[in-house]
Amino acid sequence: MSSSSNPSTHHTSTIGSIGTPSRRNTELALLVFAVVIPVFAYANVGLAINDSVPPGLLSYGLGLGLLAGVGHLVVRKFAPYADPLLLPVATLLNGLGLVLIWRLDQSKRLQALDNFVQAAPRQLLYTALGIALFVVVLVFLKDHRVLQRYTYISMVGALVLLLLPLVPGLGKNVFGARIWIQIPGLGSIQPGEFAKIVLAVFFAGYLMVKRDALALASRRVIGLYLPRGRDLGPIIVVWAISILILVFETDLGTSLLFFGMFVIMLYVATERTSWIVFGLLMSAAGAVGVATFEPHVQQRVQAWLDPMREYTLSQEGVAGHTEQSMQALWAFGSGGTLGTGLGQGNSDLIKFAANSDFILATFGEELGLAGVMAILLLYGLIVERGVRTSLAARDPFGKLLAVGLSGAFALQVFVVAGGVMGLIPLTGMTMPFLAYGGSSVLANWALIGILIRISDTARRPAPAPAPNPDAEMTQVVRP
C-alpha cells in the first residue's frame, strides 16, 4: 500500500440541510392551502358572474383535493424526502388554471364562437390523467439514474416525437403551426411537450460524458474559449434541428425552448461562458435568417412590432391577421395594479385561445399586476426548487437533468408570458399548468414527478458510513 491519504480529492461540494427532516407535513399543510385558494377563486367567479355560489363548488373542491391527496400520499410513500414545495405549487397553479378556464367557459362572447366547447370538464380530466402520470413516474422510476441508460434512445425518441407532426396524415396544421398530431379516437396531442422531457434526458446523459472534452479541450481566442470542431458538432446539430422545427413546423417557441435548454445545460456542464455567447449568437442568427424567409414567422414579428396595425387589419377583415395580441395587451392594461376582480374582466374579447395561450391575459385583467406577479413568483418557485434540487443532487446526471428540466420550464414560462405581454414575438406555447391543453398538463406533471424523484434522492440522508476498515484490532507487541 502506498503512502498518503485519501485518494478522493474532488473539490465539488454538496449542500445538504442539517438533519434533513422529510418535510412531508409541511407539504400537506401547503397542499391544503393550495386546494383552498382555487376553491375560493371558484366561489368568487361564481358570485361575480351568476350572483350565486357555483353548484359544482363542492365537487370541484373535493375533486382537486382528492387528486392532490393522492399525489401527496404517493410522494409520502415513494419519495419521502422529496422537496415539499413542488407538489403544492404545481397543484395551486393547476387549480387556478381550472378556475380560469371555467370562468372563460361562462363567457357569453366565447359561447357564441362556433368552435366553442366546455373546456373545464376536459381540463379536469387532463389534470386527473396528469396526476396519474405523476404517480406512475414516482412508482416506476425508483431511481432517476436509470434514465441515463437510455441516453441515445432518448435522442431518437425526441427526434421522432418532434418529427411526428410532419408525417402526412398524422400531423395537422392548426392555425399556421404544425405541432399537433391527430390520433384517431384519442384526439390530438402535442408531441413537442413530451419531447422537452425526453430531450432533457438525452442532453443530461450526453453532456455528462462529454463535459470534460467540451470544457477543457479548447483554444483561447480573444478572451473566449473556442471548442474543437468535433466537440462543436452536437451543438450545431441541435441548432440545425431547432431551425428545421422552426422552418417546417413554424413553431418559434419549441425551437427556442430546445436550443435554449441545450445551451443552459451546456453552460452548467462546462462552466464556460463562451457557450452562452455562442448560443445567443447562433439563435439570433437562426431567428433572423428564418424570419427573413418564412412568411408565417415574419407576420408574427410584424404583429409584435406593431400590434395596433395587426388589430386594425383584423378588424377590416384581412385574412391571416388576428386581434389577439392587442386584446391581450388591453386586458393587461385594464387590469391595472389590483385587477377588476375574478369574473369581472373582458379578457374573453381575445376570443380564440383565450383559455390556452392567452390565459395569462385573463389573470392580468382580473387579478392585476399583483396577481400576475404572484403567479410568476409561483413559477419562479418551481424553477428555484428545480435548480436547488440540482445543487443538492449527488450525481452529475441528476444535477444536469434537474437543471435542464427546470431551465426548460423557465424558458417556456418566459416564452409564453413574454409573448402574451408583447416582450417577444408571440409563439404558440402553453403556460405550464395554467393553460388549457392535455399534452401540456400531462407533460408538466411528468416533469414535476421527475424533479420530485431527483430531489428525493438528493435530500435523502446519506447512508450510514461503511464499517471502518481501520477498526481491526491492533496487535500488541509482547515483550
Rule CB under 8 A: say whether 437 interacts with other proteins. no
Residue 17 or 273 having the CB closest to other proteins: 17
Residue in 179, 243, 381, 442 binding other proteins, rule: CB under 8 A: 381
For other proteins, the binding residue among 64, 74, 75, 89 (CB under 8 A) is: 89
Region near other proteins per CB under 8 A, out of 109-117, 133-141, 304-312, 378-386: 378-386
What is the nearest approach in angstroms of other proteins to the Cβ of residue 6? 5
Residues 6+ apart with CB under 8 A from 371: 339, 363, 364
* 1 near other proteins (CB under 8 A): yes
Rounded Cα gap, residues 110 and 116, in angstroms: 7
**How far apart are alpha carbons 7 and 412 in whole angstroms?**
43
Reported for 17-22, long-range contacts at CB under 8 A and 24+ positions apart, including other chains, are: 17/459, 20/81, 20/459, 20/460, 20/461, 22/80, 22/81
| C-alpha pair distances (Å), 232 with each of 94, 149, 210, 238 | 40, 23, 11, 10
Nearer to other proteins, 267 or 363 (CB): 363
Part of the chain binding other proteins (CB under 8 A), chosen from 57-65, 84-92, 143-151, 213-221: 84-92
Residues 26-65 that bind other proteins (CB under 8 A): 26, 30, 33-34, 36-37, 40-41, 44, 47-48, 51
Residues 307-346: x/- map of binding to other proteins (CB under 8 A)? Answer: -------------------------------xxxxx-x--
Residue with cell 434526458: 201
Beta bridge partners of 225: 220
Rounded to 5°, angle at Cα 107 from 348 and 45 = 100
Q: Is 141 within 8 Å of 147 (Cβ atoms)?
A: yes
- Least separation in angstroms between residue 408's CB and other proteins is 21
3-state secondary structure of 287: helix
The three grid cell numbers given for residue 221, joined into one nine-digit string: 481566442
Q: Which helix (H) or strand (E) holds 227?
A: strand 224-227
Question: Is 271 near other proteins (CB under 8 A)?
Answer: no
Total of residues contacting other proteins (CB under 8 A) = 60
Residue 438 near residue 129, CB atoms below 8 Å: yes
Stretch that binds other proteins, among 120-128, 165-173, 271-279, 381-389 (CB under 8 A): 381-389
Is residue 10 a contact point for other proteins (CB under 8 A)? Answer: yes
* Closest CB 34 distance from other proteins, rounded Å: 7
Count of CB atoms situated within 10 Å of the CB of 276: 13
- Residue 179 has phi, psi (to 5 degrees) of -120, 10
CB of 334 to other proteins, least distance (A): 14
Residue for cell digits 391527496? 69
Among 72, 103, 272, 388, binds other proteins (CB under 8 A): 388
Stretch binding other proteins (CB under 8 A), from 69-77, 168-176, 430-438, 462-470? 462-470
CB of 365 to other proteins, least distance (A): 12
Q: Which residue, 12 or 115, is less far from other proteins as judged by CB?
A: 12
CB of 432 to other proteins, least distance (A): 17
Among 85, 303, 410, 450, binds other proteins (CB under 8 A): 85
By beta-carbon proximity to other proteins, the closer residue of 30 and 400 is 30
Q: What is the DSSP letter of 188?
A: E
Listed as own residue / partner, the contacts of 272-275 with beta carbons closer than 8 Å and 24 or more positions apart are 272/214, 272/215, 272/218, 272/225, 274/218, 274/224, 274/225, 274/226, 274/227, 275/214, 275/235
Please report whether residue 305 would count as binding other proteins according to CB under 8 A. no
- Of residues 160, 374, 423, 461, which one binds other proteins by CB under 8 A? 374
At 460, which amino acid appears? R
How far apart are the C-alpha atoms of 343 and 341, rounded to whole Å? 6
Residues that bind other proteins (CB under 8 A): 1-6, 8-18, 23, 26, 30, 33-34, 36-37, 40-41, 44, 47-48, 51, 84-85, 88-89, 92, 338-342, 344, 367-368, 370-371, 374, 377-378, 381, 384-385, 388, 468-471, 474-477
